[in-house]
Amino acid sequence: MIRKNTLRQFVAVFILTVLTISTATAQEPDTYIEELRGVWITNVDSDVLSSKQKIADAMDFLAERGFNVVFPVVWNKGYTLFPSQVAEDSIGFRQDPVYAPVGRDPLQEVITEAHRVGMEVIPWFEYGFASVFGNSSGGHILERNPHWASRDIDGNIANRNNFYWMNAIHPAVQEFMLGIIGEAIDNYDIDGVQGDDRLPAMSSTAGYSDYTKALYRAEHDGNDPPSSYDDASFLRWKADKLTTFAGDLYRMVKTKDSTLTLSLSPSIYSFSYDNYLQDWPTWLDSSYVDIIHPQAYRYDIGSYKSIIRNMLGREPFSSQGYIQRFYRPQIYPGVLIKAGGAFNDEAYVKQAIDFNREYDLKGEVYFFFEGLDEKNNNLADSLYKYKYNLPALLPNRNGQVRRPLPEIVNEDSSFAMQTGTWMEEASLAGFKGTTLKAEANSGASISYKVTVPRSAWYNVFAWNPVKSGATSGAHYEVFGAQDTVTTTISQTSSVKKGWEKIGNVYLEEGEQTVVKIDADKATDSNPTYADAVMVMLDRKNSPEVQIDAIITSAEQDNKDIPAGYALDQNYPNPFNPSTNISFSLPESNRISLEVFDVLGRKVATLHQNELFSAGQHQVSFDASALASGMYIYRLATANYTFSNTMILVK
């Protein structure tokens, strides 16, 4: 038994130790709430992807307003927006003709700028199995591969809402889709991949191509498909084929990188099933998807609420919807804010967010970026002021920071050590402020020290100024723990202006020189310019790196909490090994009661969404399996969250 004075001394020392660690540790965990705040980035009715600078500005805009994930389009109109060998081999185009001639890679540009500000990037394969919009010939994909076409009962290319479809059941079509998605995973440091109401999907009018009819006969004792495309058994057969593909897609993604998120954004059920063969409740039941963004696209808030109620139940804690309550942590609705010239305003969106939270939906994705700025009365500013002002992690990251802010060293920092003569080029803007210039054969170089926060693989970038008359081959050396990477970059090409990757190296924790720019080693006699360098964690090669966060709940305004709610101090406290936790409710309510350690990791669930009557309740907590330390217990109701601390002493 611990004597009372000894116990008090221990507690005092323990608390002092915790406080000392929290104030003195260089890598103290940051505090976040868990919410998904996403935005689709399109190349239609939007100019975000038109330049590197616009992408950088958009990512700054979103991060400064509390968003944490973007979904940039990478496959639409029959083209990939990133260079794709699979696409070149299969459909004759390596990349969208808008970007290929100028040598741009919008996906890499979005990744660089979004990760720079701590946001995740999940590429959006928008067109999925749709070949083309508005062209009954099927466009260049089906003209090159006519056996890929889906067919209706009349032998025409299957059409739904003016999209003409590839045959999503054909193995060559599936191989193509898996191929371009797999390429994005292999070639880029991304955070997941996304399909929508066209992936996996196909017009329900399809099913009559030679391949599909032969497959149907083989599985139905030689019988032909029903003459009615919407025959219930025929719809089920086709939808099941797409569900099987969803499983293939999920396994492919997870085999390549188990940390990636598979995100799907189908139409609302059962419209999705009847029109596009998307049986997405079954995808959830089959564990073929990580997160779902049902396209709850409506222009009046009453209709939006009806969609959520139909999906989840008439009341927030009911289970009468077509989606079981168990799956709510995977549901983040798509919210419409712009379509053509029509907008949903601040009042609509705030009500949609409030309704989502009532149903314990911890986030939403907006269609699309252009509805957040001044064209829609600066909606993003209002969201930040009223809803998104606390830092947030994606809930499916289990309290881990996937995209920590990179280390950036500007050229005027004390960590940038100059040799020889470097002159400020006041007329040439850099990443922050101006930039530096050194003449060739002047003995000038500049070395950048970086405080590397943890041992891991890193992508290293240089902010590349561009100026007429500069060198066409600026010389960079990147020093890793295992090797040195040498790169040359043109400082005259406008496409190269901004952040350019100069190396991928393994770095060990601590302060070290990572980059050197040597003016004498340029490939010509023109001057070299130097600006900032950036060292960014490479999740693709270091998926195992753990970066803990402290997870908390959004603070409630006490004046808004009705009388009768209370979460009492546990008793006894400190305790060993069990204690009692008491709480009060003013009315019957469903509650969750959980315990976390000081790093925000859940260590116990005492009650999960269980109904309690009005009045006072007491719950016993046995911590026999836990180590001594401070713990946080949290009570969550439909609308309010309360927390308190307790100390286990063994």
DSSP 210-259: HHHHHHHHHHTTTPPPPSSTT-HHHHHHHHHHHHHHHHHHHHHHHHH-TT
Structure tokens at 549: 């966060």
> Which pLDDT belongs to residue 641?
81
H helices of 257-378, where? 271-276, 280-285, 301-312, 346-358
* Cis status, amide bond into 368, omega within 30 of 0: yes
pLDDT given at position 7? 36
For residues 141-159, b (16+ Cβ closer than 10 Å) or e, as one string?
bbeebeebbbbbeeeebbb
Decide: helix, strand or coil at residue 292.
strand
Of 280, 559, 267, 539, the residue nearest 403 (C-alpha) = 539
Cα distances (Å, whole numbers) of residue 548 to 24, 31, 433, 600: 16, 9, 34, 8
- As a CATH number, domain 550-648 is 2.60.40.1930
HEC string for 69-136: EEEEECEECCEECCCCHHHHHHHCCCCCCCCHHHCCCHHHHHHHHHHHCCCEECCECCCCCEEEECCC
Residue 155 in contact with residue 208, Cβ under 8 Å?
yes
- Residue 548 DSSP one-character state: B
pLDDT at 29: 82
Question: Regarding beta strands 120-121 and 69-72, do their DSSP bridges make them parallel or antiparallel, or are they unpaired?
Answer: parallel
Ranges of residues in the chain whose predicted pLDDT is under 50: 1-26, 556-559
What is d(CA 287, CA 246) in angstroms, rounded to the nearest whole number? Answer: 10
Measured distance CA(405)–CA(407) in Å, rounded: 7
Domain 407-537 listed as CATH 2.60.40.3080: no
CA proximity to 302, closest of 351, 341, 350, 342: 351
- Domain segments of the chain: what residues? 34-397, 407-537, 550-648
3-state helix, strand, coil in the chain (%, to 5): 30, 30, 40
Residue 642, pLDDT score: 85
What phi and psi values does residue 54 have, to the nearest 5 degrees? -65, -35
Cα distance between residue 51 and residue 104, in whole Å: 9
pLDDT value, residue 650: 87
- Mapped onto helix, strand or coil, the DSSP state of residue 640 is coil
CA distance 478 to 505: 8
| Domains 407-537 and 550-648 alike in fold | no
User: Rounded to whole angstroms, how far apart are CA atoms 170 and 240?
Assistant: 14
Q: Residue 647: beta bridge partners?
A: 630
DSSP summary character for residue 562: P
Residue type, 41: I
Superfamily, domain 34-397: Glycosidases (3.20.20.80)
Interatomic CA distance for residues 322 and 426, integer angstroms:
62
Residue 158 has a pLDDT of: 98
Helix axes 379-386, 346-358, angle to 10 degrees: 40
